[in-house]
Amino acid sequence: MKTTRKISFRNWMLTGVLATGLAVSSVFAPVAKAADPLKIGFSMALTGPLAGAGKAALIAMQIWKDDVNKAGGLLGRQVEFVYYDDATSPSKVPGIYTKLLNVDKVDLVVSSYGTNEISPAMPIVMRKGLVFMSLFGLAVNDKFNYDRYFQIMPAGPIPKDDWSRGFFKLAMEQSPAPKTIALLSEDADFALSAVAGARRHAKRIGLKVVYDRTFPFGSPDVTSVMRAIKAANADLVYIGSYPGGSVGLVKAANELGLKAKMFGGGMVGLQFAGIQKNLGPLLNGIVNYDFWVPEKTLNFPGVNAFLKKYQVAAKGKGVDPFGHYLPPFAYAYLQILGDAVTAVGNLDQKKIAEYIHKTTFSTVVGNVKFAKNGEWATTRTLQVQFRDVAPNDIGQFNKPGKRIVLYPDSVKSGAIQYPFRK
Amino acid sequence: MFTPELLLNAVVAGLMLGSFYAAVALGLSITFGQLDIVNIAHPTFVILGSFVAYIINENFGLDPVLIGVLFMPIFYFIGTTLYRVYYASFERTGQESLSGLAFFFGLMFIIEVVLILTFGVDYRLVEADYIGQTLHLGPLDFPYRMLVPAIAACIVTGAVVLYMNKTFMGKAILAVSQDRLALQLMGANPLQVKRIALGIAIATAALAGALLIIIQPVEPSVGRMYIGRIFAIVVLGGMGSISGTFLAAILIGVVESIISTFYGPSWAPAVGFGILLLTLAIRPQGIFGRA
């Protein structure tokens, strides 16, 4: 009996200590959690064909992280990135996001750069119900219809069509109006989507498609392709291509004397300063998409301050020295996520998504409002025309006057030169 | 859309493209075809050659082809040193088959990472007066961007063929993969022969790299896109046959060009590899290989 009472007393003591411990730990637990960094996970193309853009994006994202952390972090927690190189290889992306969510236990995820790397992450992110800010994916959500997907590239609410809408609007305003078109796409997601949109516009307008082909990603030489396009003798030549292919096609078009009235469209690479310098005057007259150029009509609050920081950070890193194309948007997609998390006050993904849907965000790339499908509510895919480009002068591309904005009218900075070669 | 002019131009473009392929495949034809060394890192050495051409061209304005030629001795030295390491680590102990392959895989990644860390990942290009110009001969167009590399490729291939057929060391290289013991009896040192052969193979990469960066912009991982194509060319030509490699490269180049022009560029690689499979089914030793 005595023994029983002793044990009972010991049990009471033990229970008391445990209860106190639990109470103390429950009091201090939120404090410990608040001190933990807030982890944002992503994959990025740091090697491989799209690494030039991927590394530039990473620099911009790190500038945002530093800015936020200097201002006290998000939800009182310092922001930390957990990222892996996807080597521009879509097959690596699912594994990376699985690891980020299940092993690294990140709090938020954002996407890698480009359509090809965003699509493979979608099923994993959707399964977890996370908000997914994405960086330059063209019409990715058309296949998924995910209500927590938001895309920062200003393609517009019908991305495949809006992407090339300006090109065709400009073409059909000319006199005499063009009658034929050649379509060429590099065989990868983004380029195929861009040209699919152009094909629909051509059909809608009633242009006769006289050439419509794809070419393999990374083809060493595209002279034969350009020769076939020249032989087709189209008024318009619309191309969806990646940097290597774009450079080859521009050179081949000049070498073979392409006679089209408008040439360009969706050529990735012509936005990068290194390639612009090398191609020099060969670029003159080309009408191509872009998202930000140093024209006065695109001088949004904060963008020049950001670019100054980027240009310092990019020095010696072998990336685009000016950072006009992707970096401001890589900063802005985190700016939006950060603003939404701060406004909601916690990491409730449903509430964050709802907030992003209903809010117009003020960012370094201007005001951003998303449509229901997570794309920009209004397209702002620029159509710019290279003008008066001189040889061997990289500095000229950091000033106004070399990439004239022709479309949309809200940011237009000049009129088209048509045909593209006088 | 078929016109004789278009066909002629497609053939000419294919000849120029094929000649360039030959320059890239030449080194692999020596290592893989003659020395039985699966140098999967060869395209990466080509990219290294491209970056050397880029640095010198950017800083001193020298012609890329000239840079490629000037750097061949340095690449030769790299090749001979590489063989010493390869021999000491793998061949001497008979582990060259799998471990050797892993070695060259590793080497490929190391070179790529060093290039990325040194130059970053942006695309690099060279400048030369002839890039962007075209020679017009009647109905035929010869873009100098393709013509200059094609001529340089023909010269270097011809020089290697002459060396292999006319010099003692060249014949020794041809012999070393066939009968090492007989070679020793003839008074040649097989290790020295192999060392020189790998040196020559890597030296050709310096020039091939310079030619590549004339044709297209280059970033550190571009070489991977060539691995399949150049191995196919070496096998199609017949293992160990330099002339065979050249002709196979021309065949692939012309077929790709004609298919690209008339049937769509997407079919070009499939037809090229289709020819390889068909050839191997009928003639397993390749078009010019010995049975």
Reported ipTM: the value is: 0.86
**Residue % of chain A over a pLDDT of 90:** 78
Inside any domain, residue B255: yes
In 10 A of CB B258, how many CB atoms? 19
Number of domains in chain B: 1
Residue A109 belongs to what H/E stretch? strand A108-113
Q: How far apart are CA A3 and CA B13, in angstroms?
A: 101
Please give the domain boundaries of chain A with CATH numbers for all domains: 35-156+299-369 (3.40.50.2300), 159-298+381-411 (3.40.50.2300)
Inside any domain, residue B288: no
> Which residues span the domain enclosing B239?
4-282
If pLDDT is split at 50, 70 and 90, which confidence band does B291 have? low
Inside any domain, residue B143: yes
Per-residue pLDDT at B179: 76
- Residue A68 scores a pLDDT above 80: yes
* Secondary structure E strands in A345-407: 360-363, 366-369, 382-386, 403-407
Inside any domain, residue B100: yes
Does A87 sit within 8 Å of B256, measured CB to CB?
Answer: no
Strand partners, A135: A113
Q: How far apart are CA A394 and CA A174, in angstroms?
A: 32
CATH code, B189: 1.10.3470
DSSP for B61-113, written as a single string: ---HHHHHHHTHHHHHHHHHHHHHHHIIIIITTT-TTHHHHHHHHHHHHHHHH
- Any idea what DSSP says for residue A301? T
Per-residue pLDDT at A422: 66
Does B132 sit within 8 Å of A318, measured CB to CB?
Answer: no
Q: What confidence tens digit (pLDDT) does each residue in A111-145 have?
A: 999 988 999 999 999 999 999 999 999 889 999 99
Strand partners, A180: A208
Does A52 sit within 8 Å of B219, measured CB to CB?
Answer: yes
Mean pLDDT of chain A: 90
Average pLDDT over residues B199-218: 96
Q: How far apart are CA B225 and CA B148, in angstroms?
A: 22
Average pLDDT over residues B53-61: 95
Between B214 and B121, where is the model more confident? Answer: B214
Average pLDDT over residues B104-112: 93
Q: Does B257 touch chain A (CB under 8 A)?
A: yes
Per-residue pLDDT at A34: 54
Using CA atoms, how far residue A311 sits from A60, A300, B51, B262, in Å, is 10, 17, 24, 45
Using CA atoms, how far residue B243 sits from A287, B112, B124, in Å, is 45, 30, 32
Per-residue pLDDT at B265: 87
Best mutation site among B255, B260, B262, B273 for testing chain A: the one with the most A CBs within 10 Å?
B260
Per-residue pLDDT at A11: 53
Q: What confidence tens digit (pLDDT) does each residue in A214-261 have?
A: 999 888 889 999 999 999 999 999 999 988 899 999 999 999 999 999
B186: phi > 0 → left, psi -120 to 50 → alpha, else beta; which?
alpha
**What's the pTM value of the predicted model, to 2 decimals?**
0.84
Q: What confidence tens digit (pLDDT) does each residue in B211-237 have?
A: 999 999 998 888 888 888 899 999 999
If pLDDT is split at 50, 70 and 90, which confidence band does A416 have? very high
**Residue % of chain B over a pLDDT of 70:** 99
Contact B214, B29 (CB under 8 A): no
Q: What confidence tens digit (pLDDT) does each residue in A152-178 have?
A: 999 999 988 998 999 999 999 999 999
Q: What confidence tens digit (pLDDT) does each residue in B4-52 have?
A: 899 999 999 999 999 999 999 999 999 988 888 889 999 999 999 999 9
Inside any domain, residue B289: no
Per-residue pLDDT at A274: 87
If pLDDT is split at 50, 70 and 90, which confidence band does A4 have? very low
Q: Give B115 to chain A, closest Cα distance, Å.
A: 10
Per-residue pLDDT at A103: 96
Closest Cβ opposite residue A47 in set B116, B146, B260: B116
